[in-house]
Amino acid sequence: MAIFAAILTNQNKLQDSKKRKACLTQLGIMKQIAVIGAGTMGNGIAHVFAMKGYSVALTDVSEKALEKAIATIGKNLDRMIAKEKISEADKTDTLNRIKTFTKIAEGVEGVDLVVEAATENIDLKLRIFEEIDEHAPANAILASNTSSISITRIAAVTKRPDKVIGMHFMNPVPVMKLVEVIRGYSTTDEVTNLVMETSRNLGKIPVEANDYPGFVSNRILIPMINEAIYTLHEGVAGVEAIDTVMKLGMAHPMGPLQLADFIGLDVCLAICRVLYDGFGNPKYAPCPLLVNMVTAGKLGRKSGEGFYTYTPGSKEIKVSASFQ
């Protein structure tokens, strides 16, 4: 029995090795990448692909957003130079690999992989995927960086649901190692394996998940954040007290309220609603305080105020006057 088990183990290892070699063969072809959306996630995704030698077409409807994205990538590369992780030549090569476009049809021409990183809005994403599908090469893989929206639903508006997949990077993309790879209902094994291997080629650690609301990361994280907001809303404790308990008691590097500010309260609310609509379970209902803050434009770091206040150019944060 032990000999038989050893033979099976060796056969499985050989099959896995063949799969990885096949993926690496395809990976040599997958050198043209399109990134749709030049915001925080989009410019980070463009950064990591370009750093690893891929040619990147970064597309956004806003020329200003594209200029800001390239400037941000440049600053992040400068930090890496200061830490002696890369050279000036590496920076120049990375930036030269990124081209910018304002039209999807131009940005996806001739690419092997498209990674959509637009705002977390289902209607917007569906429109974008319809357009990508129309103009991208027939063999191109279409990935979404969505943090919660159904990959199966996105795939349904395309003519290639077997080639649609989730590729959920974490923020900040150049630093965070995880990529959550989400299989839609029709996503093939070949596409999944190739995206997993591509993620590894970026120096990331991919984790495969099936397509259910919130996937793994946000199905766990967002309810915790929402519960922290309820804890504040119900007067159990203040902002700093809640975050301190989670940092010192649970060894979290950042408290849930500060993390919500970092993610963006509008994004947290959108994911809460995806979970609530997807499961129909009242435990996922967004806290009224979260809804009110988003309505009032208090979105966290991006707006300058959420549970804390943020001063441009300063790392100092203070609890918002609304919660003192």
Indicate the residue among 165, 193, 210 that finishes a domain.
Answer: 210
Both 198 and 269 in a single domain? Answer: no
Q: Pick the catalytic residue from 168, 197, 226, 320.
A: 168
Q: Is 134 a catalytic residue?
A: no
Both 206 and 229 in a single domain? Answer: no
Q: Is 96 a catalytic residue?
A: no
Which sign, positive or negative, has the C-alpha torsion 156, 159, 163, 165? negative
Any idea what the CATH number is for the domain that residue 131 is in? 3.40.50.720
Both 249 and 114 in a single domain? Answer: no
Q: Pick the catalytic residue from 150, 193, 218, 226.
A: 218
Side chain identity at residue 204, one-letter code:
K
Please report, for the chain, how many H helices and E strands are present, in that order. 14, 10
Both 202 and 80 in a single domain? Answer: yes
- The structure tokens listed for 281 are 């379970």
Any idea what the CATH number is for the domain that residue 272 is in? 1.10.1040.10
Q: Pick the catalytic residue from 116, 120, 180, 305.
A: 180
Q: Is 316 a catalytic residue?
A: no
Number of domains in the chain: 2
Indicate the residue among 182, 210, 238 that finishes a domain.
Answer: 210
Both 195 and 229 in a single domain? Answer: no
Per-residue pLDDT of the chain (324 residues; tens, 9 = 90+): 445 444 444 555 445 544 454 444 444 468 999 999 999 999 999 999 999 999 999 999 999 999 999 999 999 999 999 999 999 999 999 999 999 999 999 999 999 999 999 998 999 999 999 999 999 999 999 999 999 999 999 999 999 999 999 999 999 999 999 999 999 999 999 999 999 999 999 999 999 999 999 999 999 999 999 999 999 999 999 999 999 999 999 999 999 999 999 999 999 999 999 999 999 999 999 999 999 999 999 999 999 999 999 998 888 899 999 999
Q: Pick the catalytic residue from 76, 144, 145, 147.
A: 147
Q: Is 168 a catalytic residue?
A: yes
Cα–Cα distance, 141 to 164 (Å, whole number)? 6
Both 224 and 180 in a single domain? Answer: no
Give the dihedral of Cα atoms 43, 218, 191, 134; nearest 10 deg. -60
Residue-range definition of the domain harbouring residue 194 = 14-210
